[in-house]
Amino acid sequence: MRIPIPAIARSALILATVLIAAIAGCDRPQADSTTQGSDGLSSYSAPESWGNETCKLLRDSEIEAVIDEHTPGRQDLLFGGCIWPSKTTLSDGRPEAIHAAVLSEGEYRQLAEIGEPIDGFGEGATWAELYGELWFRCAGGRYCGIKVVTASSEYRREHAEGLARALGSRVR
């Protein structure tokens, strides 16, 4: 005889199983290899999961040129890298922000494979106008991404391209 399980209990059981499997499969990221560049910025050999290390790859002045005053970069769990929120907000209450990420190919395919082809960043590079996201292959077979969230879309792509060039030049 089969015992009926209410739909909500079944959903909770499935969610718990998925979470336990995900947590059990998590490994601590390997240490990264750091080198100091002639410009005083660090370059990193990308570990499998970047976390806060991406925050070290863009200068505050580069971020400030796009969104003015901002809080320090911090880990961005949604975009998979770093976020620099501005100290001003959009009309919907969200802050203007710059997001940067360096993802493995698998992470990119799961999280970020969006946009239309774009020239100037190699084969497979994409730009998603709606989201202000630019993705391209960078060193180590990784995918680098920049997302620009600003009140005006007028220069969003140009800002994303400039930040993407800076990010791509610092990933080893």
| pLDDT for position 51 | 57
Please report whether residue 126 resides in a domain. Answer: yes
Please report whether residue 140 resides in a domain. Answer: yes
For the chain, the average pLDDT equals 78
Please report whether residue 35 resides in a domain. Answer: yes
The string of pLDDT tens digits covering residues 102-130 is 999 999 988 888 899 999 999 999 999 99
Please report whether residue 6 resides in a domain. Answer: no
One-character DSSP codes across the chain: -PPP--HHHHHHHHHHHHHHHHHHT--PPPPPEEEE-TTS-EEEEPPSS-GGGGGGGS-HHHHHHHHSSBPPPEEETTTTEEEEEEEEE-TTSPEEEEEEEEE-HHHHHHHT--SEE-SSS-TT-EEETTTTEEEEEEGGGEEEEEEEE-S--TTHHHHHHHHHHHHHHHB-
Provide mean pLDDT across the span 52-74: 94
What's the predicted TM-score (pTM) here? 0.71
| pLDDT for position 114 | 87
Please report whether residue 26 resides in a domain. Answer: no
Residue 27 clears pLDDT 70, i.e. is over it: no
Please report whether residue 9 resides in a domain. Answer: no
The string of pLDDT tens digits covering residues 124-159 is 999 999 999 999 999 999 999 999 999 999 999 999
Domain that holds residue 139: 31-170
Please report whether residue 112 resides in a domain. Answer: yes
Total domains, the chain: 1
Please report whether residue 150 resides in a domain. Answer: yes
